């Protein structure tokens, strides 16, 4: 069964440093997403991406965040200057269509720890 692959599985970074989280979505999917989950809390939407541009973003996705699809397979989330409160699990997801009428496939996540 096709999978969404995320790397690394765990990243520890110093506050103020830049991090890039990487994802390989399912190959024939067209919509890509980043969600995050702070320990013990809800899964929260960050951003959706389609046709090489951001479709929607939440209030969490401020100027410190950016997304990119640098080639035909990777989808990255960059946090420019990490804060302690950025510590969370970050999940990438992809969907064949973005209408919300089809289930997403989530990756296993990257646990980001900011110290």
Q: Give me the residues that bind other proteins (CB under 8 A), please.
A: 4, 6, 31, 33, 35, 41-45, 48, 50, 55-56, 58, 91, 93, 98-101, 103-109
Q: Nearest approach, Cβ of 10 to other proteins (angstroms)?
A: 10
**Cis before 8? omega within 30:** yes
Q: Nearest approach, Cβ of 101 to other proteins (angstroms)?
A: 5
Between the alpha carbon of residue 26 and those of residues 13, 62, 70, 73, 99, the distances in Å are 28, 26, 16, 8, 17
Q: Nearest approach, Cβ of 36 to other proteins (angstroms)?
A: 11
> Is the CB of 19 or the CB of 109 nearer to other proteins?
109
Q: Nearest approach, Cβ of 107 to other proteins (angstroms)?
A: 5
φ, ψ of residue 28 to 5 degrees: the values are: -100, 10
> How far is residue 34's CA from residue 98's CA, in Å, rounded to a whole number?
13
> How far is residue 90's CA from residue 108's CA, in Å, rounded to a whole number?
9
> Is the CB of 14 or the CB of 103 nearer to other proteins?
103
> Is the CB of 72 or the CB of 103 nearer to other proteins?
103
């Amino acid at each position: 069964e096709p999978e969404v692959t995320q790397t690394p599985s765990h990243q520890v970074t110093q506050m103020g440093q830049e991090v890039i989280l990487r994802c390989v979505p399912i190959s024939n999917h067209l919509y890509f997403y980043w969600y995050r989950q702070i320990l013990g809390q809800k899964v929260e939407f960050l951003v959706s991406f389609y046709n090489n541009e951001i479709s929607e973003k939440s209030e969490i996705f401020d100027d410190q965040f950016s997304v990119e699809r640098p080639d035909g397979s990777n989808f990255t989330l960059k946090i420019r200057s990490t804060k302690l409160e950025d510590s969370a699990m970050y999940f990438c997801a992809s969907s064949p269509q973005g209408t919300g009428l089809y289930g997403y496939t989530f990756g296993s996540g990257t646990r980001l720890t900011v110290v």
